[in-house]
Amino acid sequence: MQRLLRRPKGNFSRSIRLTASANYFRLVEREVVMSILTSAGLLYGGLCALFYFGQHLFFFRPERLPKGFAYQYPFPFSEINFDMEDGGVVNALHFQIPNSRGVVFYIKGNSRSIKGWGKFARDFIGKGYDFFIMDFRGFGKSRGRRTESILYSDLQQVYKWLAARYGEERIVLYGRSLGSGLAARLASWNNPHLLILDCPYYSFYYHIHRYGFWLPLRWLLRYHIRTDLFVRKIQCPIFILHGKEDRLIPYAQSERLRALAPNNIHLFAIEGAGHNNLPDFPAYHDLLYGILHADLSVIQRA
């Protein structure tokens, strides 16, 4: 009986070793998984931090100019500096012609300074309008801290300055690329004659989410610029000009905007145009002339 009850020592020892070995490998496996998850978490957190603190570098590509820089254009203009309440300074150019029909307040894109953007004055002066353009803070000669709310505030202050000289009924807001959402915000607060959006985004948040969908943008993104919300509050007519071959901000985003207020938003596609070359196409100038002069026949032909 004792022989039957006695277990073989070799099998028992082997069972203990196998159990210990399995436990060891499970422990190692758990540590490897935890190490991978920790590394992935640190990497993801690092990318989030990089995006949060570096987004000004990603979204804005300013050209800074010394205070003494002298602008040169073939059209008459004056340089104006606006001193803001928080100590910031906004530098602007005002092109004027005799007997103008009004003024186009041109809100530029996210790159360079008005030194280069000022060339677009010819597209509006030649159509009978004065032309006004400003640099955002941190661009050109403009100085000071830049945030979404500060951008809106600066634009509103400048708009009031123009309204005091022209009256709102003679102000045309023109927003180009990044400036399209800013122009829409400004139009929603005021009552300009017209709003023209050049290659706009549905909202800045929506546009960035197309590329950064893997990031928690609601908490990281400092600029949301909700064009989709602004256009619903705008009372003046809205005209959108957008290149059909735009790869940076696809034409479909303008279609989405038009769907929000189809009775007030008029969308025109520039066939063959991309994001940065609308003025190279005669159709753009025909449309712009028709819009600025309320010439429906020109708009319909275009």
Tell me the pLDDT band of 18, cut-offs 50, 70 and 90.
Answer: low
Give the model confidence (pLDDT) of 223-265 as tens digits: 889 999 999 999 999 999 999 999 999 999 999 999 999 999 9
- Are residues 65 and 40 both part of a single domain? no
What is the token pair recorded at 9?
């020592």
Beta bridge partners, 56, equal none
- Are residues 71 and 142 both part of a single domain? yes
Boundaries of domain holding 204: 61-301
Domain count, the chain: 2
Q: 247-254: long-range contacts at Cβ-Cβ below 8 A with a sequence spacing of 24 or more?
A: 247/274, 247/275, 248/177, 248/199, 248/274, 248/275, 249/177, 249/199, 249/200, 249/201, 249/207, 249/275, 253/200, 253/201, 253/202, 253/206, 253/207, 254/197, 254/199, 254/200
Which pLDDT does position 236 carry in this prediction?
A: 96
- Are residues 203 and 100 both part of a single domain? yes
Tell me the pLDDT band of 1, cut-offs 50, 70 and 90.
Answer: very low
- Are residues 200 and 181 both part of a single domain? yes
Give the model confidence (pLDDT) of 136-182 as tens digits: 999 999 999 999 999 999 999 999 999 999 999 999 999 999 999 99
- Are residues 107 and 253 both part of a single domain? yes
Instruction: Average the pLDDT over 198-222 and give the result.
Output: 81
CATH number of the domain bearing residue 98: 3.40.50.1820
Residue 78 parent element (H or E):
strand 77-83
Are the C-beta atoms of residues 130 and 104 closer than 8 Å to each other?
A: yes
- Are residues 115 and 43 both part of a single domain? no
Q: Which of 10, 30, 59 is the last residue of a domain?
A: 59
Which pLDDT does position 296 carry in this prediction?
A: 53
Beta bridge partners, 172, equal 104, 194
- Are residues 195 and 147 both part of a single domain? yes
